[in-house]
């Protein structure tokens, strides 16, 4: 009996030791996750002198089994935030954009991920929309190992520290377009595949359900899909910035050319306030000096 008790205590101590080690790893992984998202939304400054057009971000589209209405709304909101953080746009709130389209009877102009027809949208210079394809997370290799969930004595269920060491592959295709709604022309665009291989802990995501075989697609929560989506959108916006700057330079030139001409300078007669001969103060519209009679 004594030996059995000692054995139980030893198991408990070993388990607590693993938990302590897991805590240390967790701290390291937290720092790694923070480093991963450190530069999200931090972009090079725009070239000096650029005008900031007003941009609206319509509904997003996520293609495939990984999408949902909630995730599409999240993607649209995140893209709007990232566009604002580029310091190149005045971003219209999504609700305000919907209201503008409704008031101008243009509800059908924008579908998810596409411009259905060209139309003059008052209050909006550009529309920035996109779609996501291939949003998934898969295991690079299965992790089979000792799990604390296998020790009923400790009352710990469903926790497998090996899962944090499993290498995973996150993939997300992003297609973005900056469109002039008046003409329907795509002025800038980017399509790219975000891909990152890392540990579950470094990503800060949790794999739902049991472990999977290598190359199997893993089930993760919508919140964790949102983390990967945010990283993918940030990378797409960053790569699109050089093209956006070219567009905004042209937009700035056009805005200056369309601005009302500065008021013409006053005529010489109106500009003269003093007689050039005697220096007497004159009314702006007189033809002769009242003091010396000189012709003005």
| pLDDT tens digits for range 48-104 | 999 999 999 988 889 876 678 889 989 999 999 999 999 999 999 888 888 877 878
| pLDDT tens digits for range 147-176 | 333 333 333 333 343 555 667 889 999 999
Alpha helices in 86-189 (DSSP H): 94-103
135 and 67 Cβ atoms separated by less than 8 Å: yes
Mean pLDDT of the chain: 76
Say what the pTM is. Answer: 0.69
Q: Which two three-digit tokens encode residue 57? A: 């971000």
Asked if the model's pLDDT at residue 262 lies above 80, the reply is: no
Structure-model confidence comparison of residues 286 and 18, the more confident one? 286
Q: Quick one: pLDDT band at residue 28, thresholds 50, 70, 90? A: low
Whole-number pLDDT of residue 154: 37
129 and 113 Cβ atoms separated by less than 8 Å: yes
* 58 Cβ contact list (under 8 Å, min separation 6): 76, 94, 97, 110, 112, 127, 129
How many other C-beta atoms can be found within 10 angstroms of the C-beta atom of residue 296? 16
How many other C-beta atoms can be found within 10 angstroms of the C-beta atom of residue 249? 15
What residue ranges do the domains of the chain occupy?
2-255, 267-296
How many other C-beta atoms can be found within 10 angstroms of the C-beta atom of residue 158? 8
Q: Which fold has domain 2-255?
A: Rossmann fold (3.40.50)
Whole-number pLDDT of residue 81: 95
Token pair 């008790």 in the structure block, residue: 5
How many other C-beta atoms can be found within 10 angstroms of the C-beta atom of residue 108? 10
Q: Which two three-digit tokens encode residue 38? A: 């450190």
Rounded to an integer, what distance in angstroms lies between the CA atom of residue 187 and that of residue 182?
12
């Amino acid at each position: 009996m004594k030996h059995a008790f000692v054995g139980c205590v030893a198991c408990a101590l070993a388990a607590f030791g693993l938990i302590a080690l897991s805590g240390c790893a967790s701290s390291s992984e937290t720092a790694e996750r923070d480093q991963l998202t450190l530069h999200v939304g931090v972009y090079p400054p725009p070239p000096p002198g650029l005008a900031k057009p007003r941009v609206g971000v319509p509904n997003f589209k996520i293609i495939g089994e990984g999408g949902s209405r909630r995730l599409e709304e999240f993607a649209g909101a995140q893209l709007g935030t990232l566009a604002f953080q580029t310091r190149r746009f005045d971003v219209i709130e999504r609700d305000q954009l919907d209201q503008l389209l409704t008031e101008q009877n243009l509800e059908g102009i924008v579908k998810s991920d596409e411009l259905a027809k060209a139309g003059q949208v008052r209050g909006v210079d550009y529309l920035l929309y996109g779609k996501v394809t291939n949003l998934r997370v898969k295991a690079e290799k299965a992790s089979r190992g000792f799990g604390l969930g296998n020790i009923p004595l400790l009352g710990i269920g469903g926790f497998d520290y090996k899962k944090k060491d499993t290498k995973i592959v996150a993939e997300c295709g992003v297609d973005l377009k900056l469109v002039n709604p008046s003409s329907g022309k795509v002025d800038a665009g980017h399509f790219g595949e975000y891909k990152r291989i890392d540990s579950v802990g470094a990503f800060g995501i949790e794999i739902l359900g049991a472990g999977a075989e290598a190359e199997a697609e893993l089930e993760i929560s919508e919140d964790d899909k949102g983390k990967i989506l945010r990283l993918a959108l940030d990378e797409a916006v960053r790569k699109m910035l050089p093209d956006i700057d070219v567009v905004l330079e042209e937009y700035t030139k056009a805005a200056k050319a369309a601005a009302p001409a500065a008021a013409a300078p006053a005529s010489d007669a109106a500009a003269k306030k003093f007689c050039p001969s005697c220096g007497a103060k004159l009314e702006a519209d007189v033809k002769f000096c009242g003091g010396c009679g000189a012709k003005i």
